[in-house]
Amino acid sequence: MHRVSFLCSLLLAFTTLASAEDTVIVHPASAVAGLGADEVKDLFLGRKGNWPDGSKVTVAVVKDHEGFAALVGKSSSQFVTGWKKLVFTGKGVMPEILDSPEAVAAFVAKTPGAIGYVDASKAGGCKPIAIK
C-alpha cells in the first residue's frame, strides 16, 4: 500500500511540474491584448515585422525551448535558419536568442515593441497576451 501511495505522490508531483504553462509576453506598455495564433507565428518567424500601430517588433526567445518549437512549428535549427535567410536578404534582424526565460522576460520588459515566449511564472514585469 505504501508503494502505491508513493507512486501516486510522485505522479502528482510530476504532473504539477509538467503542467507549467508557457505564454506569449510583450512589453508592458504595448497596446496589444491578444493575437490570433497565425499572427503570433508570423511575428516570431519574421513574416510580419510590425505591430498593428506600425511600430517595429523585436523578437526574443529562449534557446532550444521545446514549447516554442511547438508554437511556431519549427525546430530550433529551422527557426534560426529561417531568420538567417531574412537577415541575409535584408528583410529582418536576428531575434534575441537568450539562455533563460528570465533573460527573455528582462529583455522584453525593457525593449518597447518586444515579444517573447516564456513559462508564465517567469513573465516578470511583462504583459502576457491572449492567443485567440
The answer as to whether 14 is a domain residue is no
Quick one: what percent of the chain has pLDDT higher than 90?
Answer: 73
The answer as to whether 33 is a domain residue is yes
- C-alpha 105/C-alpha 72 separation (Å) is 19
The answer as to whether 8 is a domain residue is no
- Divide the 132 residues of the chain into consecutive groups of 10 and give the mean pLDDT of each group: 40 38 95 93 96 94 88 92 96 95 97 96 93 89
Per-residue pLDDT at 58: 97
Per-residue pLDDT at 20: 59
Q: What's the CATH number where 65 sits?
A: 3.40.190.10
The answer as to whether 2 is a domain residue is no
Per-residue pLDDT at 70: 87
Per-residue pLDDT at 105: 97
The answer as to whether 26 is a domain residue is yes
Per-residue pLDDT at 15: 33
Range of the domain at 29: 21-131
The answer as to whether 85 is a domain residue is yes
The answer as to whether 49 is a domain residue is yes
Count of structural domains, the chain = 1
The answer as to whether 6 is a domain residue is no
Q: Given the DSSP bridges, would you call strands 58-62 and 114-119 parallel, antiparallel or unpaired?
A: parallel
C-alpha cell at 122: 517567469
